[in-house]
C-alpha cells in the first residue's frame, strides 16, 4: 500500500510513494516527471493499492471511494453485531501514478491487479468530470469526435493497458465510452435530484470543482425546459417496468459477489440460515440476491413485491421441470429465470430477452457462455435461417419484377397519351380540310399517326344526334 515518505509535502510524496508487492517493492515515478516511467505490477499481485487522493492531496485507500453496501449493512461487521457508523465519503480524485493493467477481459474491463479493477469505474468517472461539461448531451455524436479522442487519450495516460491503441473500436476504449455515457447520465441525474436547489459557492463548487458557475446556471435553466420534463416523465414510466430496485452498487454483480461470499461465511458462523441456497443456478441466485435487503432488526431478507413474485415462479418452474421432460426444441434462452421475469413483466413466458445482456449476469454477459446451444441445433438453425433468407429473397425478386412491370405499363400509357395530345391540333385541322374538299379520309401526308391507333368515323354512331356534320375520334 502507499506510504507517504515526505510529511506534508504532497508534491514530493507523489514521487517518493512506494508500492509494496509481496517481498519486493517498486517505485513508480510520477507521470508529470516522466510519462514513460511506470511501476510494474506482476500478474496475480492483488495487494496493489491504487492512488486516490482526498481534497488535501493525502493518499487514501480506494476502498473508501468504491461503492458501499446499500441497505444491508453487511460486510463491515460480523452478523448480529451493531452496525458501524460510517465516515463521510471523501470525493474521488485521480492520483498522479499511472496504473499498469496486466490483463483485461474480452469486454475490455481490467482483471488484474485486483485493486485496479475495483477502482476502475471511479477512475473513469473522475476522467469524465474533469474533461466533459455537465451540459454535454451526446458523447457519441459526430460533433464530439474530438472530445471522445481526448477522453481516450486521458484514459491511456492514467492507465497502461496491454493494448495501447487509441482507436474507439478496441474493446477497452469502446467499453470505456459506454461507461462514460452512463456515468454522464448518472452525474446529471444526481445533480438534478440532490443539488439543483443548493448554493453554488458552498455546495456545488466543493462537490464538483470542474463545474463553473456559468455552466451550473445553464444546467439549472435546462432542467426547467419542457423537453427535460417530458424525458423525466418517460424515465419514470420506464423505471416502473423494472423488477425491484437492485442493491448492486456501481460495480454490478462482479463487485458484489466477494461481499456476498463474506456474508455467507458470517451467516454460517452465526447460525443464520441462507435463503438463497435453494437456487443452485448462479444466475438465479444472483438475480434474487441482488434485489434483496437484509433487515438488521428482524434478521430477515426483505423483498419487494415483483422480486418475491419472480422467486415464487422460480420455485414453481423447478418443481414442474422435475416432473416433466423439457422440450428438445425449446429456445436456448428459455429457462426458469427468463420465464419468471417475462411473466412478471406481463409478456409471453417464452419471449426472447433483449440482446446485449443476460439476466442475472449484467451487461457484459455473453449468450454463447450463459445460453449454450447444442451444435446440431445450431446447424439446423443456421440452415433454416439460410432457407428462410433465400425464400424471402425470391419473394422480394418477384415483387420487384411485378412493380417494374406495372411501372413500365404506366409509363408506356403516359407516353402514348402525350403523343396523341401533341398531334391532336394537327389531326383536327387535317380532318377539317379533308371534309371541306369532299375527301372521305384525311390525306396520309397531313398527319403522322403515333403508336396509339386513331380511328376516323365519317358517319355518326347509331342513335347519336348531331346538329351538324361531325367526325368522332377514338384513340
Question: Angle at CA 424, nearest 5°, toward 422 and 429?
Answer: 130
| Torsion of the alpha carbons at 352, 354, 355 and 356, rounded to the nearest 10 | -140
pLDDT at 13: 33
How would you class 128 by CB atoms within 10 Å of its CB: exposed for 0-12, middle for 13-18, buried for 19 or more? buried
Residues 184, 221: Cα–Cα separation, whole Å: 18
pLDDT at 462: 55
pLDDT at 83: 63
Residues 319, 402: Cα–Cα separation, whole Å: 56
C-alpha grid cell for residue 429? 385541322
Residues 303, 328: Cα–Cα separation, whole Å: 34
Residues 298, 464: Cα–Cα separation, whole Å: 104
Beta strands in 288-419 (DSSP E): 293-295, 300-302
C-alpha grid cell for residue 315? 420455485
pLDDT at 298: 81
CB 36 within 8 A of CB 42: no
- Enter the pTM of the model: 0.55
pLDDT at 299: 76
pLDDT at 47: 39
Give the chain's end-to-end CA distance (angstroms, integer): 99
Q: Could you list the pLDDT tens digit for every one of the 475 residues in the chain? A: 222 333 333 333 333 333 333 333 333 333 333 333 333 333 334 433 344 443 333 334 444 444 444 444 444 444 456 667 777 777 777 878 889 999 998 888 898 888 888 889 889 999 999 999 999 989 999 999 999 999 999 999 999 999 889 999 999 999 999 999 999 999 999 999 899 889 999 999 989 999 999 999 999 999 999 998 898 898 888 888 888 888 888 778 888 888 888 988 888 888 878 888 888 888 998 999 998 888 878 878 888 889 999 999 998 888 887 666 555 447 888 889 999 999 998 888 888 887 767 888 876 677 777 887 776 766 776 777 777 887 888 888 888 888 888 888 888 888 888 888 888 888 888 888 888 887 555 445 444 444 444 444 445 555 555 444 444 544 4
Residues 327, 321: Cα–Cα separation, whole Å: 10
Ordered by start, the domain boundaries in the chain are 10-239, 252-373, 376-474
Amino acid at each position: 500500500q502507499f506510504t507517504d515518505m515526505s510529511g506534508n509535502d504532497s508534491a514530493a510524496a507523489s514521487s517518493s510513494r512506494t508500492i509494496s508487492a509481496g517481498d519486493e517493492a517498486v517505485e513508480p515515478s510520477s507521470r508529470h516527471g516522466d510519462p514513460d516511467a511506470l511501476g510494474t505490477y506482476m500478474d496475480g499481485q492483488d495487494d496493489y493499492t491504487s492512488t486516490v487522493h482526498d481534497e488535501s492531496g493525502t493518499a487514501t485507500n480506494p476502498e473508501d471511494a468504491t461503492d458501499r453496501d446499500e441497505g444491508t449493512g453487511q460486510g463491515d461487521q460480523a452478523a448480529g453485531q451493531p452496525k458501524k457508523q460510517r465516515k463521510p465519503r471523501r470525493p474521488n480524485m485521480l492520483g498522479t501514478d499511472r496504473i499498469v493493467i496486466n490483463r483485461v477481459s474480452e469486454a475490455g474491463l481490467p482483471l488484474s491487479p485486483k485493486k485496479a479493477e475495483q477502482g476502475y469505474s471511479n477512475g473513469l468517472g473522475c476522467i469524465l468530470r474533469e474533461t466533459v461539461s455537465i451540459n454535454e448531451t451526446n458523447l457519441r455524436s459526430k460533433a464530439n469526435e474530438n472530445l471522445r479522442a481526448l477522453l481516450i487519450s486521458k484514459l491511456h495516460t492514467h492507465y497502461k493497458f496491454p493494448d495501447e491503441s487509441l482507436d474507439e473500436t478496441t474493446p477497452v476504449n469502446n467499453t470505456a465510452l459506454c461507461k462514460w455515457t452512463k456515468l454522464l447520465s448518472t452525474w446529471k441525474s444526481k445533480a438534478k435530484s440532490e443539488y439543483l436547489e443548493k448554493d453554488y459557492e458552498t455546495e456545488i463548487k466543493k462537490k464538483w470543482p470542474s463545474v463553473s458557475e456559468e455552466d451550473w446556471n445553464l444546467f439549472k435553466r435546462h432542467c426547467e425546459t419542457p423537453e427535460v420534463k417530458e424525458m423525466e416523465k418517460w424515465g419514470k414510466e420506464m423505471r416502473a417496468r423494472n423488477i425491484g430496485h437492485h442493491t448492486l452498487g456501481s460495480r454490478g454483480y462482479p463487485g458484489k459477489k466477494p461481499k456476498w461470499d463474506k456474508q455467507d461465511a458470517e451467516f454460517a458462523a452465526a447460525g443464520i440460515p441462507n435463503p438463497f441456497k435453494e437456487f443452485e443456478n448462479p444466475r438465479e441466485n444472483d438475480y434474487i440476491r441482488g434485489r434483496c435487503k437484509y433487515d438488521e432488526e428482524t434478521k430477515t431478507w426483505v423483498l419487494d413485491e415483483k422480486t418475491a413474485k419472480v422467486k415464487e415462479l422460480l420455485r414453481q418452474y423447478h418443481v414442474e421441470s422435475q416432473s416433466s421432460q423439457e422440450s428438445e426444441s425449446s429456445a436456448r434462452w428459455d429457462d426458469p429465470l427468463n420465464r419468471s421475469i417475462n411473466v412478471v413483466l406481463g409478456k409471453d413466458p417464452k419471449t426472447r430477452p433483449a440482446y446485449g445482456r443476460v439476466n442475472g449476469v449484467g451487461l457484459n454477459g455473453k449468450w454463447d457462455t450463459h445460453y449454450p446451444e447444442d451444435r446440431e441445433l445450431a446447424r439446423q438453425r443456421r440452415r433454416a435461417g439460410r432457407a428462410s433468407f433465400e425464400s424471402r429473397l425470391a419473394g422480394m425478386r418477384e415483387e420487384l419484377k411485378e412493380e417494374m412491370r406495372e411501372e413500365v405499363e404506366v409509363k408506356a400509357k403516359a407516353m402514348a397519351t402525350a403523343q396523341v395530345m401533341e398531334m391532336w391540333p394537327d389531326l383536327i385541322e387535317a380532318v377539317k380540310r379533308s371534309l371541306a374538299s369532299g375527301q372521305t379520309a384525311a390525306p396520309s401526308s397531313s398527319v403522322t399517326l403515333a403508336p396509339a391507333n386513331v380511328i376516323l368515323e365519317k358517319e355518326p354512331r347509331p342513335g347519336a344526334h348531331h346538329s351538324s356534320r361531325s367526325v368522332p375520334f377514338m384513340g
